[in-house]
Amino acid sequence: MNPPSLPGSTQSAEPPEREQSPWGPERRLPESTPAADAATTRAQEARVPVDLGRRKSLNGEKLFRWLTTGSGAAVLVIIVAIAVFLIAKAIPAIQGDKVNFLTEKTWQVPDRVFGVAALAFGTVYTAVIALIIAVPVALGIALCLSHYAHRTVATTLGFVIDLLAAVPSIVFGLWGREYLIDPVRDLSAWLHKYFGWIPIFGSDGPYGKSILLGSLVLAIMILPIITALSREVFQQTPKMNEEAALALGATKWEMIRTAVLPYGRPGLIAATILGLGRALGETIALAMTLGGTFVISWDVVEVGGNTIAANIANHFGEADDFGRGALIASGLVLFAITLVVNVTARVIIYRRREFRSAL
């Protein structure tokens, strides 16, 4: 960037500067080949090392420091800008709402009657059910990868799990609504037939695009993040703890239960909450697999369900200025929910410092 740091080019391209150059003796050296350049540099370093060091830090180092500081600051600026944007756009919509935005269930923007109650309920409920399905499976995969599977198998399987994270959510959504819906319909009927006395399976139909379908798709989507984090944590279990357990006569399962799981619990909780954060924000897969109703119901098998993000995706295209404001207001609620979840995760992680490196 700055000529003095590139002595070779300075000398050949700008002869007038020779007079100001501190490396006078090198002027007469032949130039133009890399080898020659390197020789020059070595020669310079041998003669005036302090001078050269100072100049380097003036140019490359400082510039780079500014760049990184700028990038870091940009993150803060962006977060603040998003918050300000959400609040500024949401306020007129919430003021124009005829009912309480937080307790109203329906979304009738042209009538100025809309609220997030059903949407926020659906968002949290769907995400929690997805976690209930995903966490045990993720735990099993993570333990298999860290303690049971052969190294090569574990590497391959880990790679495949990570691959799952790379599948775009719209593909999961399509797969859910085109394929998974049929088995889920049968599963719903089965659940109702044998477990219908449990209220969450109480609906006698119709089945199909239900919270169960949405949560199953969501569970598959959050599986990789939970698996990857818990595997990392389980692998950090001190070998001595494990060997001590085995030495006391524990079987492998007892060793995992007494040494690995207690050690990894905070990390597992953190992984779960990060998965929850991901599930709360998932948009298009749920827009495609939920029934899109505005009802608060604990029933997971009946057609229905909706989330804040899915509602935004479904209504944004047709919304006018006010309608977009209303959707943004719902986005603000989602922002608040995910913020709480993420802060909780951080608090748990920081309480046990040894898990910092897992993130």
Partner 1 sequence: MKLKRHGILAGVMLTAALALAACGSDNNTDSPTAGSSSSGASADCATGKLTAQGSTAQTNAVAQWVKDFQAKCSGATVDYQGTGSGAGIQAFGGGTADFAGSDSPMKAADEQPKADARCGTGNKAIHLPMVIGPIAVVTNLSGVTDLQFSASTLAKIYSGKITTWDDAAIKADNPGATLPGTKITAIHRQDSSGTNDNFTKYLSKAAAADWTYDHAKDWKAPGGQGETKSDGVSTAVAKTDGAIAYVEWSFAIANNLHMAKIKNASGEFTALSADSAGKTIASAKVDGTGNDLKMTIDYNTPAAGAYPIVLVTYEIVCEKGNQADKLPLLKSFLGYAAGDGQATLTRLGYAPLPSDVQAKVAASVKALA
- In the shown chain, the binding pattern of residues 302 to 321 toward partner 1, with x for contact by CB under 8 A and - for none, equals -xx-x-------xx-xxxx-
Applying CB under 8 A, among 4, 295, 346, 352 the residue interacting with partner 1 is 295
Residue 283 in contact with residue 169, Cβ under 8 Å? yes
Binding partner 1 (rule: CB under 8 A), the pick from 24, 183, 199, 206 is 206
Interface with partner 1, residue 353, by CB under 8 A: no
Pick the stretch among 120-128, 134-142, 147-155, 300-308 that binds partner 1 (CB under 8 A).
300-308
Write out the binding residues for partner 1, residues 76-135 only, by CB under 8 A: 78, 106-111
Site for partner 1 in 222-281 (CB under 8 A): none
User: Which one, 40 or 314, has the nearer CB to partner 1?
Assistant: 314
Residue 317 neighbours by CB distance under 10 Å: 6
Residue 214 as a binder of partner 1 (CB under 8 A): the answer is no
Is residue 302 within 8 A of residue 207, CB to CB? The reply is: yes
With respect to partner 1, which residue has the nearer C-beta, 289 or 338? 289
Classify each residue of 147-176 as buried b or exposed e, where b means 16 or more C-beta atoms within 10 Å of its C-beta. bebeeeebeebbeebeeeeeeebeebbbbb
Cβ-contact 3, 22 below 8 angstroms: no
Residue 7 sits in the site that holds partner 1 (CB under 8 A)? no
Tell me whether residue 128 is exposed, middle or buried, using C-beta atoms within 10 angstroms of its C-beta: 0 to 12, 13 to 18, 19 or more. Answer: middle
Residue 97 neighbours by CB distance under 10 Å: 19
Which of the ranges 16-24, 63-71, 223-231, 255-263 carries the binding residues for partner 1, by CB under 8 A?
A: 63-71
DSSP element (H, E) containing 88:
helix 62-96
Contact 118, 105 (CB under 8 A): yes
Q: Show the site string, 171-200: x = touches partner 1 by CB under 8 A, - = not.
A: -------x--x-------------------
DSSP assignment letter at 27:
G
What contacts 334, CB < 8 A, 6 or more positions away? 120, 123, 280, 281, 308, 309
Q: Does 354 bind partner 1 (CB under 8 A)?
A: no
Number of residues that bind partner 1 (CB under 8 A): 38
What are the residues binding partner 1 (CB under 8 A)?
A: 67-68, 70-72, 74-75, 78, 106-111, 178, 181, 204-209, 287, 291-295, 303-304, 306, 314-315, 317-320, 323
